[in-house]
Amino acid sequence: MGQVKESSTNFENRKIMNDACPEVYAASILGTQWTLAICSYLILGKHRFGELRKKIPGITERMLTLKLRELEQQQIVKRTVFAEVPPRVEYELTKIGKDLAPLIAQLDAWGRKHKKLVNSTKYA
């Protein structure tokens, strides 16, 4: 829950759902734009900031920064800064981050299946 106003109805609603339903909580973490793409690359291994930016088409530096910071706060990603010039920062998944792998595989499988279904019925 990035920048949610604690006074908003939206905040209340999410809080209640997230507290009551772990699956909703998990989906709300993974379902925002760019987040899962980043995780998918990090599952393949450690990446520098610039590497991620190059691999993820269309992402801006701002968005990449925001999402990485969010993932870091959520303890899904670990950030390591090297005291060099020019700077070098490496990102890698934490233990729980790595635990996403089978979940991502399932999402992938269901996604393929669904896409296939929808496309096959689109013009039927």
Contacting positions for DNA (CB under 7 A): 1-5, 7-11, 13, 32-34, 48-50, 58-63, 65-66, 68-69, 79, 81, 85-89
16 binds, among its own copies, DNA, none (CB under 5 to 8 A by kind): its own copies
Q: Any idea what DSSP says for residue 82?
A: E
Dihedral angle of Cα 19, 25, 28, 31, to the nearest 10 degrees: -170
Dihedral angle of Cα 99, 54, 86, 65, to the nearest 10 degrees: -60
Q: Which is nearer to DNA, 88 or 113 (CB)?
A: 88
Q: Any idea what DSSP says for residue 75?
A: T
Mapping DSSP to helix (H, G, I), strand (E, B) and coil, where does residue 91 land? strand
* Residue 59 interacting with its own copies (CB under 8 A): yes
- Residues 62-101, mask of contacts with its own copies (x by CB under 8 A): ------------xxx-------------------x--xx-
For residue 96, the number of C-alpha atoms closer than 13 Å in the C-beta half-sphere is: 10
Binding site for its own copies (CB under 8 A): 9-10, 12-14, 16-17, 20-33, 35-37, 40, 57-59, 74-76, 96, 99-100, 102-115, 117-118, 121
